[in-house]
Amino acid sequence: MSSSRKGSDKQSDEAAIKEWHRKYHDSCNRGDLETFKTLLDDDITWLPPNAPIMKKKACLEMAENLMKNYRINQNPTIEEIKTDADLAYSRISYRETYYPKDEGKPIINDGKGVYLFRRRSDGLWVSTHIIWNSNVA
């Protein structure tokens, strides 16, 4: 990505993407589906591991099901952020644990992901695509 944006603008954009990640993972950890929805583009596309591509309705159904049935603890580490005017991407590594709200053993996973973003007309960043996979064999 090349950019004609000034350093301070890029710094602000990178800070905004970091804040987006904080809100996104915090909403997952709190089970806050309403906040979660506001962070996604209307045409969000997910590319989850070992599953077909998912579009917005399926993405939200999956998130709602997980939030309803599990207490989630996601711990991401942002490895890279690149911004360019109205597009950006981030690369993370993560460790997450899903604790069943009913009986059952926790599901522990560590993996990595790539998030693509666009800047909306109001200046806020939303994710358009999320691609992730597990390091667990």
Percent of the chain with pLDDT over 70: 93
What CA–CA distances, in Å, run from 61 to 55, 57, 93? 10, 6, 24
Q: Which long-range contacts (CB under 8 A, 24 or more apart) does 102-107 make?
A: 102/69, 107/70
Report the CATH architecture of 7-134. Answer: Roll (3.10)
Domain-wise residue ranges, the chain: 7-134
Report the pLDDT averaged over residues 51-77.
96
Check residue 39 and report its DSSP letter. Answer: T
Q: Strands 125-134 and 40-47: what pairing?
A: parallel
pLDDT beyond 50 at 3? no
For 90-120, how does the pLDDT look when each residue is reduced to its tens digit (9 = 90+)?
A: 999 999 999 999 989 999 999 999 999 999 9
Residue 136's pLDDT is 78
